Amino acid sequence: MGVAVNIDTTIALRGVRDLQRLVEAVIDADEHDELDWVEWKGTLDLSAKEGCFHVARAVLGMANRLPDRAGLTCQGLGYIIVGAEPCSLQGVASVDPATVDQHMDAYLGGVEGPRYAPTYVPVKSKTTLVVVVKAPRPGDQIFSLRREFGNARSGTVFVRKPGRTVPADARDLDALQTRLLTKPVSAGGLEVCLAGDMPLSWIDASIVPDAITRWVANEKAGLVAAAQDVERRRRRPATTREAGTVGQAGIGIQGLAEMMARQESALKDL
């Protein structure tokens, strides 16, 4: 698809300066250069329902483009310019955004409709309006007109063709149905899943043997120290109270050795 409007479309045009350059490029373009990613209107009365309907229809057409084709320019964004066209900069009267949104929402369906962002852009002492429409994505719904206007009936699906926005035909509807049923592709997401039938363990198997060895060594040192203390107390004369205590608490070297053997055996079974 050729890009006749002389501006870099390999990047998304978002900021006011980018939109100024877009308007200037449209003014310098030929009247037949209008393509499917940009639409211009010489002037509209945005305080009236009629003016807002023409913008809403263009928004629907941009939102109903196919993702693969739309992605060829400006990362899929669509642009509607009001107040400028090839060889002409007429400007547009600024209107309270709340009024414009109220009229637009009636035709687009509010939060359930396509996403767009209107911006007043100053160009050569004139004010223009640039409406940026969100890039279409696989899985997007089919956007339709929510309120009739003139000959356009409620439920009409508009699509964008090079240089014009028109009601969808059967082939257009088939393509939009395919877009709707296409599973969205996750961008940079991380998917975690289980593979095989081996259970997961919260223990890092690579460090288990060393950890067990250190624990056994510490336990062994503590038990040996306790046994040695018991042996020293048993070999010296003991008072009646001490003898009773040792008789109750002392388990002897043999008992400690047996206890350690059981602990080591149990650890090996982990």
Q: Domain extents for the chain?
A: 16-181, 208-268
From 18-27, 89-98, 207-216, the region with the lowest mean pLDDT: 207-216
pLDDT band at residue 245 using 50, 70 and 90 as cut-offs: very low
For 105, phi then psi, to 5°, come to -60, -35
Token pair belonging to 191: 């998917």
CA distance 180 to 184: 9
pLDDT score at 74: 96
- Selected residue with higher pLDDT from 97 and 81: 81
CA distance 100 to 48: 8
Cβ atoms within 10 Å, residue 148: 13
What is the CATH number assigned to the segment(s) 16-181? 3.30.950.30
Quote the mean pLDDT of the chain: 83
Q: Number of C-alpha atoms within 13 angstroms, CB side, residue 247?
A: 7
pLDDT above 70: percentage of residues in the chain: 77
**What single letter denotes the amino acid at residue 84?**
A
Per-residue DSSP letter, 159: E
- Residue 266 gets the label, from left (phi > 0), alpha (psi -120 to 50) or beta, of alpha
The yes-or-no verdict on residue 113 having pLDDT over 80 is yes
pLDDT score at 226: 81
Task: Tell me what the mean pLDDT of segment 4-13 comes to.
Answer: 91
Determine contact, residues 39/165, Cβ cutoff 8 Å: yes
Token pair belonging to 25: 């490029």
Rg (CA), the chain: 38
From 37-51, 52-66, 185-199, the region with the lowest mean pLDDT: 185-199
pLDDT score at 239: 54
pLDDT above 90: percentage of residues in the chain: 60
